[in-house]
Amino acid sequence: MGKQTGNISTSYNVLVALRQIIQAIDVHSKKLIKQFGLTGPQLIVLQEISRSQSITASELAKEISLSQATVTGILDRLGKRGLISRRRSENDRRRVFAKTTPAGGKMLDAAPPLMQESFTEQFNCLETWEQNMILSSLQRLVALMGARKIVAAPILATGSIENVKESVNNFPDVKEEGRKPKEA
């Protein structure tokens, strides 16, 4: 009986910790949208364009682990807001390069760091054994929750996959194993 009570208490605490993580991601995402009008993926795209100076949608998609269709949608939205510009290659008219505009540069200067950036920085300061223990535990939770077949880009977002895609305009490409990804 004591072991079962311990398991219930421990499972309760694991669920509470998972909920705290989800809520922290949600709060950060909502704050980013409210203060800057950008989703996490949009900010990542803008940062990568700025880093590379000029990049095509396909190169960008590979760099940030999103589908090309998702990146193209994000580029469209950033372009409409005047945060990026696009130009066709003079050598190959099929290639279109994206570049940040001065307004995009100002947005990047004002934007806060993404949650995954601060997480990665802190995580990398941990001892290797502790990093491996956390990874192993999270992979076990994924298995326990029956989520192994879900493939997701390394961008922190909340909500159901479909709701996240719809509510913040083309969040990362997420698909079920064996099925083609849905391109929003």
Tell me the domains of the chain and their CATH numbers: 2-176 (1.10.10.10)
What is residue 93's three-state secondary structure?
Answer: coil
At residue 171, the pLDDT reads 34
At residue 173, the pLDDT reads 36
Compute the mean pLDDT over every residue in the chain, rounded to the nearest whole number: 80
Q: Tens of pLDDT along 18-51?
A: 999 989 988 988 988 999 899 888 999 999 999 9
**Sequence-separated (6 or more) residues with CB below 8 Å from residue 72:** 57
At residue 100, φ and ψ (nearest 5 deg) are -70, 145
Phi-psi region of 157 (alpha: psi -120 to 50; beta: other; left: phi over 0): beta
- pLDDT of residue 124 exceeding 60, the answer is yes
Q: Tens of pLDDT along 7-16?
A: 778 888 999 9
Alpha helices (H) in 37-182, listed in sequence order: 40-52, 57-64, 68-80, 102-110, 115-124, 128-144, 161-167
Please tell me which residue, 149 or 152, carries the higher pLDDT value: 149
At residue 132, the pLDDT reads 96
